């Protein structure tokens, strides 16, 4: 019997080869910016970088020193080159996992928020990978750390509208291409947790790892200034509020109910939870609000520890971690990502 459900057939992630430890990152910032930081923020910076919630991050440069005086033109070139490279790696791997070739792809959706190029990343991937010039493509910007789930929502809609297609979803962020530093706690925190990476998945109407059962979104514009990019002197600066853990956990809790209530599910029916790891305090707040156990939060914490916050692909790294740890037939999984806006997006998945 023909499968009518859209599923995730395969999932792959990619990171740059350069790994930086927190002590190295702190030393770099202290070397170049100590004279620009007030005594209070210097103390806070040391405390933030000493926190064990993040130990390693992957950065899209062979030399972190170049970030200190990187020209904006060089920065967008670095964003473009690494976004294409990491996306290509993830796509090639995800196709191999699914037993597909580039000729099987009928659609491609790419999201990012850490760089803007026109035409978009999808066009470069068509060229680099030799994809058909007739495939349907979308380039999404502006969704911040939550962008991978709207991407999946669009992929699902494309497949449902066009029969038996194979659509590839790509989330890629080069957060280091938005590097800024000043006597600003938002920037200190950003430079302690953000990193670079990409994730790709294949979606189709055949048996897969997870069925995309339902999705939901919430956008509370009252909190737009609490989490967003802003432009200063023509360059992106991350803006984060100290109230973010409480704001995010409240919105996430509401979104979880939006997903579960129409299906008649309860929190205790969900075996797996994949959250965007927006930081240790955010994870704690979400866990407390939903009453989740440490074992349920562990995949999210593990990704934050090993990779940091890579913005939109990060929740897919968490989902990959859950798959690696083992899932059973019939297991439910809730995947939630949130970011600029404040916007939050979720998918209810079933194995």
Residue 169, pLDDT above cutoff 50 = yes
pLDDT (0 to 100) of residue 221 = 77
Domain span holding position 167: 7-204
Average per-residue pLDDT in the chain? 93
Q: What are the pLDDT digits (tens) for 111-151?
A: 999 999 999 999 999 999 999 999 999 999 988 899 999 99
Q: For residues 283 and 230, state if they share a domain.
A: yes
Q: For residues 170 and 247, state if they share a domain.
A: no
Residue where a domain stops, chosen among 166, 181, 204: 204
Q: What are the pLDDT digits (tens) for 232-272?
A: 777 776 666 677 777 888 999 999 999 999 999 999 999 99
Domain assignment of residue 2, yes or no: no
Looking at the chain, the whole-number percentage of residues with pLDDT higher than 70 is 95
Distance CA 123, CA 84 (A): 10
pLDDT (0 to 100) of residue 225 = 66
What Rg value do the Cα atoms of the chain yield, rounded?
19
pLDDT (0 to 100) of residue 240 = 66
Q: What are the pLDDT digits (tens) for 307-347?
A: 999 999 999 999 999 999 999 999 999 999 998 778 899 99
Contact 237, 264 (CB under 8 A): no
Q: For residues 112 and 73, state if they share a domain.
A: yes
The two structure tokens encoding residue 124: 């470069």
Contact 307, 56 (CB under 8 A): yes
Domain assignment of residue 168, yes or no: yes
Name residue, tokens 């790696």: 89
Residue 2, pLDDT above cutoff 60 = no
Residue where a domain stops, chosen among 204, 222, 251: 204
For the residues 154-171, what does the mean pLDDT come to? 93
Distance CA 326, CA 99 (A): 21
For the residues 301-309, what does the mean pLDDT come to? 98
For the residues 290-319, what does the mean pLDDT come to? 97
Domain count, the chain: 2
pLDDT (0 to 100) of residue 164 = 80
Query: What's the pTM value of the predicted model, to 2 decimals?
Result: 0.95
Distance CA 256, CA 331 (A): 17
Q: Which CATH number do you get for residue 214?
A: 3.40.47.10
Spatial CA neighbour of 340 closest among 266, 297, 278, 268:
278
Residue 1 — very low, low, confident or very high, per pLDDT cuts 50/70/90?
A: very low
- The 3-state DSSP composition of the chain as helix, strand, coil percent (nearest 5) reads 50, 25, 25
């Amino acid at each position: 019997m023909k499968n009518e459900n859209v599923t995730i057939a395969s999932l792959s992630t990619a990171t740059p080869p350069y790994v930086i430890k927190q002590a190295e990152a702190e030393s770099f910032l202290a070397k170049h910016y100590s004279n620009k930081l007030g005594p209070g923020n210097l103390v806070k910076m040391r405390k933030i970088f000493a926190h064990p919630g993040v130990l390693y991050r992957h950065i899209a440069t062979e030399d972190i020193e170049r970030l200190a005086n990187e020209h904006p033109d060089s920065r967008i070139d670095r964003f473009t080159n690494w976004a294409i490279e990491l996306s290509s790696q993830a796509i090639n791997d995800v196709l191999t996992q699914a037993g597909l070739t580039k000729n099987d792809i009928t659609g491609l959706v790419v999201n990012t928020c850490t760089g803007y190029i026109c035409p978009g990343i999808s066009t470069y991937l068509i060229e680099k990978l030799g994809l058909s010039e007739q495939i349907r493509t979308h380039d999404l910007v502006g969704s911040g750390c939550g962008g991978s789930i709207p991407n999946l929502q669009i992929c699902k809609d494309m497949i449902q509208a066009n029969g038996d297609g194979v659509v590839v979803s790509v989330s890629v962020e080069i957060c280091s291409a938005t590097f800024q530093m000043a006597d600003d706690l938002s920037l200190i925190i950003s430079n302690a947790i953000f990193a670079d990476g990409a994730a790709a998945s294949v979606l189709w109407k055949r048996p897969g790892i997870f069925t995309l059962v339902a999705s939901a979104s919430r956008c509370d514009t009252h909190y737009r200034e609490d989490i967003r990019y802003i432009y200063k002197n023509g360059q992106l600066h991350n803006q984060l509020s100290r109230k973010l853990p409480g704001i995010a956990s409240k919105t996430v809790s509401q979104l979880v109910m939006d997903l579960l209530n129409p299906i008649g599910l309860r929190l205790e029916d969900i075996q797996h939870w994949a959250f965007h790891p927006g930081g240790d305090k955010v994870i704690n707040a979400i866990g407390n609000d939903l009453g989740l156990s440490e074992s349920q939060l562990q995949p999210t914490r593990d990704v934050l520890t090993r990779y940091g916050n890579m913005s939109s692909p990060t929740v897919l790294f968490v989902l990959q971690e859950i798959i690696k740890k083992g899932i059973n037939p019939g297991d439910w999984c809730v995947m939630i990502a949130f970011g600029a806006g404040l916007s939050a997006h979720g998918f209810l998945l079933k194995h």
